[in-house]
Structure 1
C-alpha cells in the first residue's frame, strides 16, 4: 500500500503541480465514508505507478483548495501532467477504469 504525500496548504499543492512531471492528487474530507473506503484501493493501485507522484489533501482543513481546484464533492482525484490537469474523477470512482487511464498517461508522459 503506497502512502500519499500529505498536502497541508494550497501553496504546497500548487508547488507540487508546478514541480512534478506527473502527479495524482487525492482530495478528501475527514468525515467522508466514501473517501475512507476508496483511499486504500487507490493506495494499492498506485503501487503499480511509482513514477507518478501521489499526494493527498483534506479539503476540510485546507478550504481554499476546494475553491482553487473546483472541488464540489469528495473524494476528488486530479491527475496533472506537465502542469496541466489531464484527468478528473469525483465521488464514485471506478478503480479499474482509473487504472487503465493511469496506464495510458504513464506510457505517454513517463515512458523511457
Structure 2
C-alpha cells in the first residue's frame, strides 16, 4: 500500500465504493493528530486483507463528504461490501478489535 489511492470528489468516492467488492475508506483531516497516528496501524491491518481495496479521503479536499456520509469527527474508517456499508469506526479506534471485525467481514464476504 505504498501508492496512496486518494479520492477528491463525491463522484470518485461513489465510483470507488460501487466498483469494488470490498472497499475501504480512510477519511481524515490535515491537522488531525489522531488521524496521522492511526493511519500506519490501519494500513498494517489492511495489508493482511489483500482483496480489500483502500482509498483515502481528506475532509479538507472534499468538505461535502461530511454531509454525504454523516461524518462528525475524524478519522472515520468505513468498510463496504458490494457498495453497502458494513463497518464504521471513528475517532479512537481499538486496533485489535477493528482487526477482528474486518477479519470476520472479510471471510464472510468471500
TM range (shorter): over 0.9
Give 1:9 deviation, angstroms.
1.1
Q: How big is the shift at 1:61?
A: 1.2
**CA distance in structure 2 between the partners assigned to 1:66 and 1:28 by the alignment:** 11
Instruction: Name the residue aligned to 2:21.
Output: 21
Distance 1:82 1:43 in 2: 21
- Which structure 2 residues correspond to residues 24-63 of structure 1 after superposition, within 5 A? 24-63=24-63
Q: Distance in 2 between matches of 1:88 and 1:44?
A: 18
Question: What count of residue pairs does the alignment treat as equivalent?
Answer: 109
Q: Secondary structure at the match of 2:64?
A: helix
Query: In structure 2, the residue corresponding to 1:63 is in which secondary structure?
Result: coil
Q: Which residue of 2 aligns with 1:68?
A: 68
Structure 1 position 65, deviation (Å): 1.1
Root mean square deviation, CA, Å: 0.9
CA–CA separation in structure 2 for the residues paired with 1:6 and 1:61 = 10
C-alpha deviations, 1:37-73, integer Å up to 9, x for none? Answer: 0001011111101100111100111011111001100
Query: Hey, which bits of structure 1, 4+ residues long, moved more than 2 A?
Result: none
Specify the alignment match of 1:81 in structure 2.
81
Gaps of 5+ in 1: none
2-structure distance, mates of 1:47, 1:81: 17
In structure 2, what is the Cα distance between the partners aligned to 1:14 and 1:20? Answer: 10
Cα distance in 1, alignment partners of residues 33 and 22 from structure 2: 28
